[in-house]
Amino acid sequence: MPNLQAIVDEIYARLRPRLGEGKVADYIPQLAHVDPKTFGMAVVTVDGAVHTAGDFDVPFSIQSISKVFTLTLALGKHGETTWNRVGREPSGTAFNSIVQLEQEEGKPRNPFINAGAIAVSDLVLAGHTPREAIGEIVRFVRYLADDESIAIDPAVAKSEEATGYRNFALANFMRSFGKLDHPVEHVLGVYFHHCALAMTCTQLARSGLFLAAGGRIPGTGHTVVSRQRARRINALMLTCGHYDGSGDFAYHVGLPGKSGVGGGILAVAPGRASVAVWSPGLNHNGNSLIGSLALEMLANRTGWSVFE
Amino acid sequence: MPNLQAIVDEIYARLRPRLGEGKVADYIPQLAHVDPKTFGMAVVTVDGAVHTAGDFDVPFSIQSISKVFTLTLALGKHGETTWNRVGREPSGTAFNSIVQLEQEEGKPRNPFINAGAIAVSDLVLAGHTPREAIGEIVRFVRYLADDESIAIDPAVAKSEEATGYRNFALANFMRSFGKLDHPVEHVLGVYFHHCALAMTCTQLARSGLFLAAGGRIPGTGHTVVSRQRARRINALMLTCGHYDGSGDFAYHVGLPGKSGVGGGILAVAPGRASVAVWSPGLNHNGNSLIGSLALEMLANRTGWSVFE
Amino acid sequence: MPNLQAIVDEIYARLRPRLGEGKVADYIPQLAHVDPKTFGMAVVTVDGAVHTAGDFDVPFSIQSISKVFTLTLALGKHGETTWNRVGREPSGTAFNSIVQLEQEEGKPRNPFINAGAIAVSDLVLAGHTPREAIGEIVRFVRYLADDESIAIDPAVAKSEEATGYRNFALANFMRSFGKLDHPVEHVLGVYFHHCALAMTCTQLARSGLFLAAGGRIPGTGHTVVSRQRARRINALMLTCGHYDGSGDFAYHVGLPGKSGVGGGILAVAPGRASVAVWSPGLNHNGNSLIGSLALEMLANRTGWSVFE
Amino acid sequence: MPNLQAIVDEIYARLRPRLGEGKVADYIPQLAHVDPKTFGMAVVTVDGAVHTAGDFDVPFSIQSISKVFTLTLALGKHGETTWNRVGREPSGTAFNSIVQLEQEEGKPRNPFINAGAIAVSDLVLAGHTPREAIGEIVRFVRYLADDESIAIDPAVAKSEEATGYRNFALANFMRSFGKLDHPVEHVLGVYFHHCALAMTCTQLARSGLFLAAGGRIPGTGHTVVSRQRARRINALMLTCGHYDGSGDFAYHVGLPGKSGVGGGILAVAPGRASVAVWSPGLNHNGNSLIGSLALEMLANRTGWSVFE
């Protein structure tokens, strides 16, 4: 076992001079206000050790990373019929493209592009009110992280709701194909709120640990999902977790991961650890530039790539 | 370590009643003539053990699986500049679609779709004659498999050349964007010939073993590629190796793999083994239906999925 | 001058046995309730003569034909800057496709596809309330037809509003590109209402007469638009007036025209007459099947095609 | 009747200061060598009068304008079954786009985009050798213009053949869908040669006169096509004759027309005249910039727009 804390410290030291690279998402004011030079990292191993660096305990907007948790919930409610509403293939186009949605009659390519996550929000609703569904998601993430302090940032949720025209377009488009069961406003209410979850790197890494540990939370022994389902969610993260940069992330890092425009990335080293990084500057594919480098360094130094 | 021979035997026994399912590729007569009920499998572990079942020693047309070997050669010649001519992202559309090629100005999405493999053939040519390049590819595969009997089926190559209008369209299209260095006829000559390589499951599994063994051929100790490059080729196989069914294969099998329309699949279990299966009936994505099931069973029974 | 009434009578007599062919639009109940065997026709010449047949005085939902009138209003308010928001080229895809809208960053191809007409509704709003804009449109059509009895069918408008998910998608999509100035709900309020205008063939033919008469209303001598603008609106109707069947209509009929899914078509014979036909069964392009045939017969017998 | 010679003289005088605007096509050297400041115009009325200006008797490469003549020949050989191989709808995308061809399984949208004209060349071949088909086309144009001196520029044909990768892509693509009857090389041989026809403005205007005269050549009284077919070819020219600028041309000029990248435009004023202009600088849609302006001025001054 490598000396993880030393590796994490080295990564932070080497990337420190480059902090500020990339472009901070500015499509909602709340994201644009973040200091572009922040960097946080937390590695939680399956045996419970935690290694951190930088702003690991500063909450940030996890945005699309939340899609991993809503997918897990939807699979728990609907099992494999989930895949009647959303596909499992990489999208091959920009992350919010509407084109493929038309070609495929309102069925999004995968649960991690916006359209797919909206379809998943519809599945999580399952007849409940948006408030109930949002409550369920928050409770689920708190349970995974074993941390009752996790909460949604209402200003972020409200801001996305006020400007999310493209998501309204996607949802109405799917609805026109009969691919949503609930009113567009309800579905997007759930969607905008779970994207507005604010978490620290440590909380996020803890929340993803079950995916590294065969579906169980090592600390409590609770089973979240079956071993097979954990494996499959990891597969989806690897093939689809970074929008149109998923191939690139697999090539350079080699770990299942999910990024968010807030600059966070959750990565899973099966059997080893769950890792969260955060640095707000994004690369041209909309993924954290410094965060991706940090994970590439970690994979190189630990040999954790799933491909070796 | 599981009893691999018992697992292989069980897989064969359980799939035997289903042989013949799927649709045999018929776009060239040579492929259509194959008995749809054939099934072969070979597992070669990094410590040299070989486990086989069925028609493991019957040569078949490896078709697109050859793209793994030509990519390896192109990377050897051009290193990372290879990626100036071909991308690393899943394609998100049918395997020979020309649409994305227009959007991205003649640069194919990845080296495993037809357009990308044609670009790779151009890189392998590197100023040589088609005959020389084809010779180099055959020698490389013989070297990997340590088997001088591997050869190209000239009838298959000729047949593809006579009917491959879509590949001529792709190549001319790329040439119109200035993305091929050699004459279209030369590039496609190389392409059609390497797709026509005929190999047995055992030969194929041996040829892919370096990808499971950190770039080295365990038997001889020869280094084919660096550990990093082996990892990266595996990543490309996982994200792009099964056309528009790559996500599905990752979801169900969880191993880097590359399929061919001849019904073969090469799969890599990093650190463990190289596996070849062959069964001609294809699923709707153009991948071996029974072969995919065999690999899913193998991954389930061995725990070799990279995602757990 | 041909004996127009005899021609109109003959057209009706010959098409009578075919009434009921085509498929009545059923996406909103109000349209589906129409008797599929109705047929009406009215020819109003520039010298004021009116020739009619069948159900020429039964009001029907003019739907997209109203886009000619809103475009005329928008051009009156914004002149050539109208074309900053909407193009003038045939769309080349199905009438409500969203694909081209993404490629062209929210600028619709022309004012007669749904997206384009929504952009035009936004221009007609011009800072007013939806109620005011709708009132202005109704007054304009009454003025053109010199008939104060023309009105909107509120049940149709309400029904479209309740089920028009795709139009909500289009409008939100354009808004996401900053291509709408008013709230989506306001713009679509105007759009759904003008599409719900109910008119008889005679009223409709009278309303379009200014386009046949160099921009003037022959009866009153009022100038609606300049001679140049009348010509240009006719050009748009000819190239874009029948969705993806515009080329076909030009080929067979050879008159500027605009169809609606209610089964109506307004056609303009420059210098000669304005013609309205109505028959609810649609062809595969969404244009009135019998109505198109009636206009083809009329053009053949009168020699009014603009192409001879 | 306006004083046409005075109008033509005025157009030339007013456009003279702007000669050189636009971008001369440079994808083949023979086109790039042309003086960008040349301008020619010829108006031939149905009663035989000829009015000219500038370099009206200098031959230029008519390029895509030839597609009008090959379509006329194909319709003569195959009648309405021509439309089984090529559509009649505007394309809505750039002139040589391959995307729509994939969506519509190898059937081009209309006979005036490259793919469509290649399909028409295949129809003109009709079992003959390329040499025979090319001979037939040349004889046909000579007959229309009553001028035996018209010829193909072999250097242009050869140059296009050597660099026309995109056309090879299109033809192979259509062949892959079974939409060409003859070998790709034969079809393109015909295509490249008819595009290389060199004609003067006077010759070109004479060749198109039958379309203005109900299908007959006024001077000889010969019937080339029926009145209906002339009308229909005019309709196709109006809706599809200027690539992705067809709507714009209809809006500004209002005459059926066909442009070529050599800078020529043939326009038809039904019942009045046939007009040819030539000026090599192209606008962003690939149509002669000055030529389009000249035709707009002509239509304005004569009132020949079909839309008034």
Residue B307 is assigned to a structural domain of this protein = no
Domain count, chain A: 2
Residue B125 is assigned to a structural domain of this protein = yes
For residue C183, what are its two tokens?
Answer: 């709230």
Q: How far is CA C94 from CA C115, C150, D293, in A?
A: 12, 31, 32
Query: Is A243 among the residues known to form the active site?
Result: yes
Residue C1 pLDDT > 60: no
- Rounded CA-CA distance B144/B153 in Å is 19
For residue D306, what are its two tokens?
Answer: 């079909």
- Rounded CA-CA distance C116/C108 in Å is 5
What radius of gyration, in Å, describes the C-alpha atoms of chain D? 18
pLDDT by residue for chain B (308 residues), tens only, comes to 569 999 999 999 999 999 999 999 987 887 888 999 999 999 999 999 999 999 999 999 999 999 999 999 999 999 999 999 999 999 866 655 777 888 888 999 999 999 999 999 999 999 999 999 999 999 999 999 999 999 999 999 999 999 899 999 999 999 999 999 999 999 999 999 999 999 999 999 999 999 999 999 998 999 999 999 999 999 999 999 998 899 999 999 999 999 999 999 999 999 999 999 999 999 999 999 999 999 999 999 999 999 99
Whether C297 contacts chain D with CB within 8 A: no
pLDDT at C104: 84
Residues 6 or more apart from C33 whose CB is under 8 A from it?
A: none
Whether B123 contacts chain D with CB within 8 A: no
Is C250 close to D256, i.e. CB distance below 8 A? no
**Of B68, B111, B65, nearest in space to B86 by CA:** B111
Assign A217 to helix, strand or coil: coil
Domain shared by A107 and A230, yes or no: no
**Of D110, D102, A85, nearest in space to B94 by CA:** D102
The DSSP symbol for A133 reads: H
Domain extent, residue B165, equals: 64-197
Residue C240 is assigned to a structural domain of this protein = yes
Single residue among C147, C180, C197 that ends a domain in this structure? C197
The burial of D284, by beta-carbon neighbours within 10 Å (0-12 exposed, 13-18 middle, 19 or more buried), is given as exposed
Residue A54 pairs in a beta bridge with A40
Of B120, B138, B225, B261, the catalytic one is: B261
Domain shared by B58 and B104, yes or no: no
Give start and end residues of each alpha helix (H) in chain C: 4-15, 29-32, 66-78, 99-103, 114-125, 130-145, 154-163, 165-176, 184-195, 201-212, 227-240, 246-252, 289-302
Specify the CATH number for the domain of residue D33: 3.40.710.10
Best residue in C104, C237, C306 for a mutation probing chain D (most D CBs within 10 Å): C306
For residue D102, what are its two tokens?
Answer: 């994939």
Asked if residue C277 lies in contact with residue C201, where contact means CB atoms within 8 angstroms, the answer is: yes
Residue D83 is assigned to a structural domain of this protein = yes
Asked if residue A282 lies in contact with residue A259, where contact means CB atoms within 8 angstroms, the answer is: no
Domain shared by D31 and D127, yes or no: no
Single residue among A197, A218, A238 that ends a domain in this structure? A197
**Of C279, C276, C229, nearest in space to C45 by CA:** C276
Which of the residue ranges C203-217, D96-110, D141-155 would you say has the lowest mean pLDDT? D96-110
Cα-flanking dihedrals φ and ψ of residue B188, to 5°?
A: -70, -30
For residue C36, what are its two tokens?
Answer: 């599929």
Query: How far off is chain A from C217, nearest CA to CA, in Å?
Result: 41
CB within 8 Å of chain D, chain B residues 69-98? 97-98
What radius of gyration, in Å, describes the C-alpha atoms of chain A? 18
Residue A307 is assigned to a structural domain of this protein = no
Query: Is A226 among the residues known to form the active site?
Result: no
CA angle, corner A292, sides to A167 and A308, nearest 5? Answer: 115
Query: Is B191 among the residues known to form the active site?
Result: yes
Average per-residue pLDDT for chain C: 95
Whether D273 contacts chain C with CB within 8 A: no
Domain shared by B88 and B177, yes or no: yes
Domain shared by C187 and C240, yes or no: no
Asked if residue B208 lies in contact with residue B266, where contact means CB atoms within 8 angstroms, the answer is: yes
Query: Is B124 among the residues known to form the active site?
Result: no
Residue C96 pLDDT > 70: no
pLDDT at D235: 98
- With CA atoms as reference, the chain D residue closest to C215 would be D308
Residue C230 is assigned to a structural domain of this protein = yes
The DSSP symbol for A153 reads: -
Single residue among A165, A197, A229 that ends a domain in this structure? A197
Lookup result for tokens 């073969």: B264
Domain shared by C97 and C112, yes or no: yes
Assign B67 to helix, strand or coil: helix
pLDDT at B247: 96
Residues 6 or more apart from B20 whose CB is under 8 A from it?
A: B36, B37, B281
Q: How many angstroms from the chain centroid is the CA of residue B47? A: 23
Domain shared by B68 and B187, yes or no: yes
Could you tell me the pTM of the whole model? 0.94
Strand intervals (E) in chain A: 23-24, 40-45, 50-54, 60-61, 151-152, 197-199, 257-259, 264-269, 273-278, 281-282
Cα-flanking dihedrals φ and ψ of residue A89, to 5°?
A: -110, 145
- Rounded CA-CA distance A182/A169 in Å is 15
Residues of chain B in contact with residue D173, where contact means CB-CB under 8 angstroms, are: 98, 165-166, 169
Of D88, D238, D270, the CB nearest to C238: D238
Of C102, C165, C176, the CB nearest to A176: C165
Q: In this complex, which chains have at least 3 CB pairs below 8 Å with chain D?
A: B, C
User: How much is the average pLDDT of A282-307?
Assistant: 97
Residues 6 or more apart from D273 whose CB is under 8 A from it?
A: D4, D43, D44, D45, D46, D205, D209, D212, D304
Domain shared by C188 and C71, yes or no: yes
User: How much is the average pLDDT of D86-103?
Assistant: 78
The pLDDT > 70 percentage for chain D reads 97
Assign A198 to helix, strand or coil: strand
Residue C85 is assigned to a structural domain of this protein = yes
Domain shared by A52 and A76, yes or no: no
Is A173 close to C169, i.e. CB distance below 8 A? yes
Residue C308 is assigned to a structural domain of this protein = no
pLDDT (tens digit, 9 = 90+) per residue, C121-139? 999 999 999 999 999 999 9
Domain shared by B141 and B155, yes or no: yes
Best residue in B95, B100, B166 for a mutation probing chain D (most D CBs within 10 Å): B166
Using CA atoms of C29, C34, C35, C41 in order, give the dihedral in degrees to the nearest 10.
Answer: -150
For residue D278, what are its two tokens?
Answer: 């030539």
Q: In this complex, which chains have at least 3 CB pairs below 8 Å with chain C?
A: A, D
Is B168 close to D165, i.e. CB distance below 8 A? no
Domain shared by D193 and D78, yes or no: yes
- Rounded CA-CA distance C35/B2 in Å is 72
pLDDT (tens digit, 9 = 90+) per residue, C19-45? 999 999 987 777 888 999 999 999 999
Query: Is B64 among the residues known to form the active site?
Result: yes
Domain shared by B185 and B103, yes or no: yes
Of B99, B169, B170, the CB nearest to D99: B99
Q: How far is CA A143 from CA A139, B234, C279, in A?
A: 6, 35, 62
* Half-sphere exposure (Cβ direction) of D285: Cα atoms closer than 13 Å: 23
Query: How far off is chain C from D159, nearest CA to CA, in Å?
Result: 32
